[in-house]
Structure 1
Amino acid sequence: MKQVEKSEVEVEPFTVESVDVHVLRCPIATPVRTSFGTMHDRPAVLVSVTDSDGCTGWGEVWSNFPACGAEHRAALVSTVFAPMLAGSRVADPADVFRDLTKRTAVLALQSGEPGPFAQAIAGLDLALWDLRARRAGLPLWNLLGGTSDNIPVYASGLNPVGSAQLVAHKLEQGYEAFKLKVGFGVDRDINNLRMLREIIGPTRRLMVDANQAWTLAQALEIAPLLSPFNLGWLEEPLRCDRPLSEWQALAGNAPMPLAGGENIAGDDAFNAAIASRAFSVIQPDAAKWGGISGCLNVIRSTQAAGLTYCPHYLGGGVGLLASAHLLAATGGDGTLEIDANPNPLRTLLHGPLDTLTNGHVHLGHAPGIGVVPNLAELREHIREKAAFVDTSRKSS
């Protein structure tokens, strides 16, 4: 896989003055359910990098599971990575991504935490790219080489309970594609699919996500039963650590395309997944591994192989916007995942993503990701709506 290409836009190097990290949590009335667990509140780990000129870029670190994961990732950012970044000279965020990964590789192995380390690096990479775009006075999608701010979106995270009302609401908002969570028993899954297909009609896109729920034998049995619903893809039917030969066996027998990638990390693993031809849709999560620097390589390799890149994302608004800009920058026929469930930490921060026209959004031309989080306003607003916890850490 080739190295990240330099941006065509020349941006002067900058010096990192400080790194801040904030853990935000908002309780929710309806838990978000997957086949492996339930989220009873919505966390967001926001990171900001400020340079010596006072310009700030924002990123987000994946932190959905386990329940204590957000505070843990924030501690990694503030105690391990912020001291490494403070005072450093940044010419290209991709260089920083590689340097941080290399410098902490042994520590990640020693602690048995390569995932959390990669997630912290990913969030910082997003912040550095946002900062670079803001310094250039360009929207991130444009800085990265994109030519249009217009992208398609789909409503994700549809639970096995209450999805009918949620889908009806999203249709009114302008959504044209939807993804249902399955893996809760064949009869229940099929009944939910039948109900949703009736609501959205025969032509709108409908996908499903099994969240690693099945064995190969189960998936081979269940996938044909889902065929009548004309699914755009079946996401993560198998555990992400199962051999690629199992994914290939399923791909050769499933009546719909397979999707995956949110739980793949590293160039080698993505290269192998792409080369296997088991996946029609590759879904790296830029807040979970790679940030922009790593994911750009994956996206280019995905598209060169004739496969579809669709960003995975299920967090707050900052990471969602970064994912949107990454999709707009790289083009192709992918679609942005937007969680349909209520989450103030997403909707108060995701800017133009709540204005849809025929299933598409325009990201606009504001510098960077286009939004500057107002933490004071955010805290006050959420306090008015629900109990709220904010753990802030700062390093300079």
Structure 2
Amino acid sequence: MNTKIEHIEAIALRIPFTAGGKSDVGAWGDGDLKTVDSLVVKVTTDSGLVGWGESFGFTSIPAVKVAIEQIIAPLCIGRDPSQIEKLMLELQRKLHIFGRSGAIMFGLSAIDIALWDIAGKAAGQPVHQLLGGADAKALDCYASLIRYTDPDTVVANVERALGEGYRRLKLHEVELPAVQAARQRAGDDVEITLDVNCPWTVRQALDMAEKLRPYKLRWLEEPVWPPENFEGLARLRREAGIPIAAGENASTLMEFQQLLRAGAVDFVQPSPAKMGGITELRKVFALANAHNTSVMVHTFYDGPGLLASVHASAALGGADAVVEWRYFDQEAYLYGDAIVPKNGAIAVPQGPGLGIEPDPDVVRDYRLP
């Protein structure tokens, strides 16, 4: 008799953190935010195998939790966990009327990641092996700083990241003095990317790009509002003189196809906890390869969504693979020290499935009611 999905549990966590200075309202969350919320999903089979997934959440967690528990989970109970692609496509088709983004897709993403974890455990292999195998035992990371605005605070955190061995940095600043200060402190040999979170019209973005060119950015990320303005991004890419990155707000394979067909980006950034999990992520790698475009997976989380990104990047990303690390200090980490980068690199887990199990004490101590 085939194994069946027996239970699905959505678990919200809230963990205090410090970030080397006061965060600026508008980057993500509130100004001077002191806790980070995440939503992990535990899928249990009737044979006792357990898989863990993660949804993109933050302030949308209550909506995603309801979507998983009341809409998605009942459609999964009793199904064969090994038929991942078949089940995910069926659920996308059944639930498309409720939206192809947001809570539904975030929830599907979490369950998909958990099913890949189960598949790896059932096979006794890490997920990266299921995706074709990986030679790399570790991947370079970039320290993804939050937005500070204050140049002195930016410099202090750049210094801290460099001191910990990072040679790649991401800023979330939108004002030139902060970017200038970071580049001056880091020097020309450190790779700096800039994520501005969709603030500008195309004309404004072109004007800003002219001012940003002297700072030799590896890429300018999500410069245009709205994020689905792929033609505007393509124009910016042609005229800005800075490589363009985007994709974390795309939710379906069709959006990625349109983004790449428009020639809008040099780096495409699928977010597996938002856009369908590992099942869809591997398709984006194939699409990007067909368009000669590098994939830089969006990983502004540190649970199963991050592990999914590491496995996929190691197996499918080739020599370009780099992992985003959310650069602040949490009171506790879901995996303890096992996944924290060392000297600017993150280990590729070698155990079955996602390769690392959540710390039950962290889940217990930081779980929201």
Show structure 2 runs of 5+ residues with no match. none
Q: Which residue of 1 aligns with 2:157?
A: 166
Aligned CA distance change for structure 1 residues 97 and 260 (closer, same or farther; 3 Å): same
Q: Deviation of residue 164 (structure 1)? A: 2.1
Identical aligned pairs, as a percentage?
Answer: 26
Matched residues in 2 for 1:367 and 1:196: separation? 40
Secondary structure in structure 2 of the residue aligned to 1:246: helix
1:132 equivalent in alignment to 2:110: no
Q: Which residue of 1 aligns with 2:347?
A: 362
Secondary structure in structure 2 of the residue aligned to 1:338: strand
1:374 equivalent in alignment to 2:352: no
Match of 1:120 among 93, 107, 117: 107
Amino acid corresponding to residue 125 of structure 2 in structure 1: L
Aligned CA distance change for structure 1 residues 377 and 259 (closer, same or farther; 3 Å): closer
Q: Deviation of residue 34 (structure 1)? A: 6.2
Aligned CA distance change for structure 1 residues 57 and 268 (closer, same or farther; 3 Å): same
Q: Which residue of 2 aligns with 1:186?
A: none
TM-score, scaled relative to structure 2: 0.91
Aligned CA distance change for structure 1 residues 88 and 20 (closer, same or farther; 3 Å): same
Q: Which residue of 2 aligns with 1:19?
A: 8
Q: Which residue of 1 aligns with 2:79?
A: 88
Show structure 1 runs of 5+ residues with no match. 1-11, 184-188, 381-387, 392-396
- Report which stretch shifted further, 262-271 or 316-325: 316-325
Secondary structure in structure 1 of the residue aligned to 2:239: coil
Q: Deviation of residue 378 (structure 1)? A: 4.1
Q: Which residue of 1 aligns with 2:173?
A: 182
Q: How big is each residue's C-alpha offset from its partner over 1:53-91, in whole Å with a ceiling of 9 and x where there is no partner?
A: 111010001012xx3x11221111111111111111233
Matched residues in 1 for 2:127 and 2:70: separation? 28
Secondary structure in structure 2 of the residue aligned to 1:353: coil
**Matched-pair contact (CA < 8 Å) for 1:157–1:181:** yes
Matched residues in 2 for 1:53 and 1:144: separation? 24
**Matched-pair contact (CA < 8 Å) for 1:142–1:329:** yes
1:221 equivalent in alignment to 2:215: no
Q: Deviation of residue 351 (structure 1)? A: 5.0
Matched residues in 2 for 1:378 and 1:294: separation? 28
Aligned CA distance change for structure 1 residues 152 and 330 (closer, same or farther; 3 Å): same
TM-score, scaled relative to structure 1: 0.85
Aligned CA distance change for structure 1 residues 33 and 130 (closer, same or farther; 3 Å): farther
Match of 1:143 among 106, 113, 130: 130
Matched residues in 2 for 1:34 and 1:236: separation? 18
Secondary structure in structure 1 of the residue aligned to 2:67: helix
Q: Which has the higher contact order (CA 8 A, sep 6+)?
A: 1
**Matched-pair contact (CA < 8 Å) for 1:123–1:287:** yes
Count of matched residue pairs: 359
